């Protein structure tokens, strides 16, 4: 018998899990891994077998979608092996990946073979020098080629851009040109002060400002969220002087227009800690339970269910929060 979907006390159905494969990353984005950040010892990181076990448990709770993220997932040795294990052990699970694209060369074919057809690639600048300034690495052309390789193999690509005023706002026309020419979703994400990255009001470029500026360059038509598989993004189709664009523009506004009432996600850190809300530092340690002979899968399932029931409304936490940060850990340590 299929178990009932997991819901929280507010009636939200949770059917989406983000699983961080590693807290390590091969880039040093200025807003994310400030100062490099400590990384966890290997013994504290879930083994691939444990990740698959968690994915199977999640699937038994009607989690339909699993996003693998990090850190940088492709930076963990053997990551393609995890993808194969998931394809074998969790048929029907909609697996997606968020990556910085630096290690993607040659991978898109395998992804398609494994039924992984959707990928989010982070690319904060179309200018090689700015890319290097932001990430600490001269890898713009590698990522740009990876985007093309994914599109050539038929993957659906979402391009994530952290919106940073004074850093990449002048590139809005170039980003729109790209979305006009290529069938991809360009998504600007509002910068969130997390971990050691400080709130920098002068860098805050809100989604309303982005949409207003974009609307002066191309015609924007809002797309209904439900029909668009857009997650938290508000999407727009684009029409320029030459006609309709191949891609779309999206904005994700965790700070200015929260989407907590429709939040359907859980996060698992690479050390196997469950977070039910990005903005809550409360974590439930699943890995010791999974590894314990006394507890095991039944206890893990019970903890996931109970924790999900109490899933908070992030915007309420932010309202009550004192201090400049939205949460204590950087995105790389949680799983972005």
Residues engaged in binding ligand SAM (CB under 6 A)? 25, 31-32, 69-70, 72, 98-100, 122, 160, 162, 189, 191-192, 194, 197, 331-332, 336
Of 287 and 331, nearer to ligand SAM (C-beta) is 331
Shortest gap between Cβ of 32 and ligand SAM (angstroms)? Answer: 4
Residues 6+ apart with CB under 8 A from 311: 8, 9, 10, 12, 14, 263, 266, 276, 277
Owner of token pair 């709770």: 61
Owner of token pair 């590698």: 142
Shortest gap between Cβ of 73 and ligand SAM (angstroms)? Answer: 7
Shortest gap between Cβ of 99 and ligand SAM (angstroms)? Answer: 5
Shortest gap between Cβ of 268 and ligand SAM (angstroms)? Answer: 14
Of 31 and 175, nearer to ligand SAM (C-beta) is 31
Of 22 and 264, nearer to ligand SAM (C-beta) is 22
Pairing of strands 243-252, 284-285: unpaired
Shortest gap between Cβ of 77 and ligand SAM (angstroms)? Answer: 16
Residues 6+ apart with CB under 8 A from 254: 189, 190, 192, 232, 278, 314, 326
Of 195 and 247, nearer to ligand SAM (C-beta) is 195
Of 159 and 307, nearer to ligand SAM (C-beta) is 159
Q: What are phi and psi of 219, to 5 degrees?
A: -80, 135
Q: Name residue 244's beta-bridge partners.
A: 239
Shortest gap between Cβ of 7 and ligand SAM (angstroms)? Answer: 27
Of 162 and 317, nearer to ligand SAM (C-beta) is 162
Nearest-CB residue for ligand SAM: 336
Residues 6+ apart with CB under 8 A from 108: 119, 149, 150, 152, 153, 155
CB atoms within 10 A of CB 128: 13
> Tokens in use for 111?
């992804």
The span from the CA of 304 to the CA of 207, in Å, is 33
């Amino acid at each position: 018998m299929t178990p009932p979907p997991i819901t929280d006390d507010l009636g939200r159905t949770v059917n989406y899990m983000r699983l961080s494969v590693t807290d390590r990353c091969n880039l040093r984005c200025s807003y994310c891994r400030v100062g490099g950040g400590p990384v966890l010892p290997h013994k504290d990181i879930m083994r691939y077998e444990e990740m698959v076990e968690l994915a199977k448990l999640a699937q038994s709770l009607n989690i339909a979608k699993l996003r693998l993220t990090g850190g940088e997932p492709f930076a963990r040795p053997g990551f393609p092996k995890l993808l194969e294990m998931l394809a074998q052990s969790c048929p029907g699970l909609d697996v997606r990946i968020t990556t910085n694209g630096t290690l993607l060369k040659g991978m898109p074919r395998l992804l398609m073979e494994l039924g992984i057809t959707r990928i989010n690639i982070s690319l904060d600048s179309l200018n090689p020098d700015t890319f290097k300034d932001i990430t600490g690495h001269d890898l713009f052309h590698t990522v740009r080629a990876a985007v093309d390789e994914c599109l050539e193999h038929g993957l659906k690509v979402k391009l994530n851009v952290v919106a940073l005023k004074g850093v990449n706002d002048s590139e809005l026309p170039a980003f729109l040109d790209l979305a006009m020419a290529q069938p991809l979703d360009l998504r600007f994400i509002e910068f969130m002060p997390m971990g050691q990255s400080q709130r920098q009001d002068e860098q805050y470029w809100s989604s309303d400002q982005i949409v207003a500026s974009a609307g002066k360059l191309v015609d924007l038509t809002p797309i209904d969220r439900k029909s668009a598989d857009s997650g938290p993004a508000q999407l727009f189709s684009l029409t320029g002087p030459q006609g309709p664009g191949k891609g779309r523009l999206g904005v994700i506004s965790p700070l200015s227009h929260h989407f907590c009432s429709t939040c359907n996600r859980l996060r698992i850190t690479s050390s196997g800690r469950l977070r039910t809300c990005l903005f809550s530092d409360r974590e439930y340690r699943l890995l010791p339970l999974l590894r314990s002979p006394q507890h095991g899968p039944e206890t893990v399932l019970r903890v996931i269910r109970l924790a999900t029931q109490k899933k908070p409304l992030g915007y309420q936490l932010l309202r009550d929060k004192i201090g400049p940060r939205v949460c204590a850990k950087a995105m790389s340590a949680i799983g972005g």
